[in-house]
Structure 1
Amino acid sequence: QIARIKKSCRRCEKMVQEPAPSRPIPGSMAGPNLLSHILVSKFDDHLPLYRQHEIFARMGADIPESTLVGWCGRAMKTLQPLIERIEAEIMASDLLHADDTPIRVLDRSRRDKGLGKGVKQGRIWAYVRDQRPWAGSAPPGVIYYFAPDWKEDHVLGHLANARGILQADGYKGYAKLYEPQTDGAPRLREAACWAHLRRDFHDFWVSTKSEIAREALDRIGKLYDTERGINGQTADVRHAARQKLSAPKVASFFAWSEQQLLRIPGKSDLAKGFRYGLSRREAFSLFLTDGRVAIDNNPAERALRPIGIGRKNWLFAGADTGAETLARAMTIIETAKINGLDPQAYLADILDRIHDHKINRLDELLPWNWAPMAQAIDSQAA
């Protein structure tokens, strides 16, 4: 409850009253602290809304689950201008990590048509900018997009304006992005993931104890030994170290891989692993010639880990709109976390300020620029 005192002038009897403060959701009783608690509990702590409803009920606050759903969606609508600024910043990077993961989404139309139990498989895509491993100046960030299926059109739309280097797995939908343009150069150069390649050999070694798979793991492990020593160094330092220490090992690995393919069954999983690496030799070697490029795509895989944890709790999204809300919420929460912020404190502050904040100063509320309101007032006064 907000008390606004009315005062009147004794001479002219004119009534005056302080304007009502803006609400994060116009016309709603939900304040910024309550909304931030609900959002972080749902999208960071992975606490489904029906459980939050039960918790609030035990505390004497009967907030219907449908109301909680509405608050989440409308809060994301309030934050949409800020989320769009994060997206614009991250997607403008000339070096991106990308990955995706499945998510179950309720689709009652499928059940009505007799197509299963009314659940479809959508995808959550993550795009990460992280220059910290090579001491870059741009702040880290991650954005998420929901797609109702795994068609390449979604990726091509996400990366329509992207230029530079894309570090990702071997998903076929990326292929058109690597094709030469009219000037002969591709819009994006492919950087492959050594961790993904290593996983193929690791899985085969675990199941068969193959000596060849074990040697492949050892050879790749030596590349990572070098990477541990140069993590956080400048791109030039990383490039020099890789040329001296890693380039000979990579050349040796691929020469050895070609020899092993002549010795093992062509249809085995081990052979598939070797062929995967050899077919993308240029992409696997790009990190040797550019010190900014990581040896693997682990930043994107780490960004998707919260989705995997969340799936075990909320099981599925209630609709496409719910999955889109999830993607927007994860964008702002995970970007806040990767910049070292407490997501609940950050969300509470910007939800309280965003309606009254000048649109031409919106960048002040980005996670890497944000300062709590008290600090912002002090800095302006100074």
Structure 2
Amino acid sequence: MNPLAELDSLDIDPVAKSQVAAMFQTLLAQVERDAKTLQAKDLKIEALSHELAHIRRIRFGAKSETLSPLQRDVFEETLDTDLAAIEAEAEQLQDGQPCGTVAKPKRPRAGRQPLPDHLPRVDHHHEPASCTCGHCGKNLVKIGEDVTEQLDVEPAKFFVRRHIRPQYACRACETVTAAPIPPAVIDGGMAAVGLLAWVMVSKYQDHLPLYRLEQIAARDKVILSRSTLADWVGRVGVALQPLAERLKWHLLQGGALHADETPVAQLDPGSGKTRKAYLWAYRSNDLQPGPRLIVFDYQKGRGGEHARQFLGAWKGHLMVDGYAGYKALFTDTGNNGPCTELACFAHARRKFFDLHQANQSPMAWEALQRISVLYAVEAEGKALGIAARQQLRAEKSQPQLHAFHDWLLKTRTVTAPGGASAKALDYTLKRWPALIRYAETGHLPIDNNPVENCIRPIALGKKNWLFAGSERAGQRAAAIQTLLGTAKLNGLNPAAWLKETLEKLPVWPNSRIDELLPLTPEQITAIKQTLPEKATW
């Protein structure tokens, strides 16, 4: 019904009719404004509800994406510890019950994993108190044995290595001869390479501050002052710097890289406060041949110029998140042209996951299901070669991506702008060309998870050491974490590798520096064969 049309049909005074019409128009305009205001408020409420649910899920939730894997491990181990304590207390209460009460239930036990064969065995023989039978008194005959194995450990065990160099004299020419002093990373230092490796791994991989190492040594009545430990760390860091630079050189020979960054607090001298610095991480592509490499770069800021400075003239595919600082890398038309952007499907998925957790959005659930199909294809092609994986993606991933894109466009047209649903859709649509680029090949990754997994332990470990004392300290930490992180990626024991490397380093020729890198012997052999003059993985 149109009120103004009805008003025209009424037989009333024209002046009054015009006044009433003006009132109707004013009311209609006010209703329209109120409707728009309500719509805007509804969108704001939806956005705030989504944000609140996201924060609550992070704070209190226990879903798979609530916490990082390391954080989940901390909570799970606490839960397991509490359960074990409760069981032990219950067993103690049951053991204290008088005879004739309810029997203690048999505790279910999972099959125990066999202990590693490479560990040394220390045998303890337990013989009966008597070699005669306790019933008839006759001699016992051995018919077999029962072997039970327990895992044991010796904590950091300090001991002294004595280097004895006999001196021999020649009576004829009156000279004295003795073996030369073995070269060491720290000349004249009291620390052997095993102790230096323990300090470096404890500080940079286990994230233990030096004062805690000082306390550990003090329990064995060994005095290791923090100033002495700091001196060792500084000198070993300088000695290892060429190896970190060499790993960076090898990393930049790859055609596709991952990149990410995490904030680090750095002490601001004179102010008594800290300021924000950043630890950048660059990771090799697992879908291409070659060793797995992770290189950290410590910088004072998060600006895109730091990434440009690190990459230099490198040109290739760079997998990054949506941070705007990387954008210049993809638009810079310098001598080597721009890098090619790869967007992370895990980040796109996270937007829909948060939306679904907030309000059980059917649209978000549909997006999650479509993305899960893409990851199922990746799981299927994980063990394939590059050519076979490219064919698999062409047959299965690309049709799914086309259908997903059509669905995104269609869904966006019926979604009100400004809300959390629109933001999730817009995030994916805006990055769509970079998101689907991986499916055109067989060697590009679908997401940025490999580098995030490498940087996450540092993001958690920095809660122990709180801040970097200086920019130089941050750069030293980045270099050492580069070496230890790469060793871990390639299945090496970082402590064993570092100890062996510190033994060889003082007399090792620079021409054979690749042999000292934290890589397997097979990987080092491949380097020698494939990098005679020009480096290409």
**Structure 2 CA distance, aligned partners of 1:34 and 1:130?**
34
| Corresponding residue number in structure 1 for 2:452 | 301
2:352·2:368 contact (CA, 8 Å) conserved in 1?
A: yes
1:236 counterpart letter in structure 2: A
Identify which of 171, 176, 180 aligns with 2:323.
171
Paired residue for 2:254?
Answer: 93
Distance 1:153 1:166 in 2: 15
User: In the alignment, what sits opposite 1:337?
Assistant: 488
1:227-265, Cα deviation, whole Å (9 max, x unpaired): 110003111111111111111111111221122222223
Q: Kindly indicate whether residue 239 of structure 2 is the aligned counterpart of residue 78 of structure 1.
A: yes
The CA deviation string for residues 293-346 of structure 1, in whole angstroms up to 9 with x for no partner, is: 011111111110111221222222222222212111110001011111100000
1:124 corresponds to 2:124: no
- 1:145-204 superposed Cα distances (whole Å, 9 cap, x missing partner): 111111121111011121111111112121121126268x84311111100110111111
Cα distance 1:180–1:161, how it changes in 2: closer, same or farther (>3 A)? closer
Larger Rg: 2
Shift of 1:38: 0.8
Aligned letter for 2:301?
A: D
Amino acid in structure 2 at the alignment position of 1:343: P
Mapping for residues 1-382 of structure 1, pairs under 5 Å: 1-109=162-270, 111=271, 118-131=273-286, 134=287, 136-179=288-331, 181=333, 186-369=337-520
Matched residue SS, 2:422: helix
CA distance in 2, matches of 1:24, 1:370: 23
CA distance in 2 between counterparts of 1:370 and 1:40 reads 22
Q: Partners in 1 of 2:341 and 2:352 — Cα distance?
A: 22
In 1, the alpha carbon distance for the partners of 2:355 and 2:265 equals 29
Distance in 1, Cα, partners of 2:332 & 2:306: 20
Kept after mapping to 1: 8 A contact 2:194/2:499: yes
Matched with 1:375 is none
CA RMSD of aligned residues (A): 1.7
Residues 154 and 263 of structure 1: CA distance in aligned 2, closer, same or farther (over 3 Å): same
Q: Secondary structure at the match of 2:383?
A: coil
The verdict on how the C-alpha distance between 1:11 and 1:182 changes in structure 2, with shifts beyond 3 A counting, is closer
When normalised by structure 2's length, the TM-score is: 0.65
Higher relative contact order (CA 8 A, sep 6+): 1
Q: Is the 8 A contact 1:168 1:190 kept in 2?
A: yes
Contact residue 25 and residue 78 of structure 1 kept, 8 A: no
- State the alpha-carbon separation in 1 of the partners of residues 359 and 258 from structure 2: 32
| Alpha-carbon distance in 2 for matches of 1:189, 1:29 | 51
**Unmatched runs of 5 consecutive residues or more in structure 2:** 1-161, 523-537
In 2, Cα distance between equivalents of 1:69 and 1:275: 50
Q: TM-score, normalised by structure 1?
A: 0.90
Alignment-mate amino acid for residue 470 of structure 2? A
Quick one: which amino acid aligns to residue 266 of structure 1?
P
Partner Cα separation in structure 2 for residue 90 and residue 257 of structure 1 = 36
* Aligned-partner SS, 2:410: helix
- Using the TM superposition, give the Cα deviation of residue 27 of structure 1 relative to its aligned residue in structure 2, in angstroms: 3.4
Shift of 1:98: 0.7
Deviation at 1:66, TM superposition (A): 2.1
Supply the distance in 2 between the matched residues of 1:251 and 1:72 (Cα, whole angstroms): 54
CA–CA distance in structure 2, aligned partners of residues 269 and 118 of structure 1: 37
Q: Residue 125 of structure 1: SS of its match in structure 2?
A: strand
- Secondary structure at the aligned position of 1:200 is classed as helix
| Helix, strand or coil at the partner of 1:41 | helix
One-letter code aligned to 2:437: L
Aligned in 2, Cα 1:99/1:58: closer, same or farther, shift over 3 Å? same
Shift, 1:95, TM fit: 0.8
Task: Give the conservation status (yes or no) of the 8 Å contact 1:130–1:139.
Answer: no
* Contact 2:307 2:326 (C-alpha < 8 Å) held by counterparts: yes
How many residue pairs match? The answer is 361
Measure how far apart 1:26 and its partner are.
Answer: 2.6
Pairwise CA distance, 1:272: 1.7
Kept in 1: contact 2:304–2:328 (CA 8 A): no
Partner secondary structure for residue 92 of structure 1: coil
SS in 2 for 1:190: strand
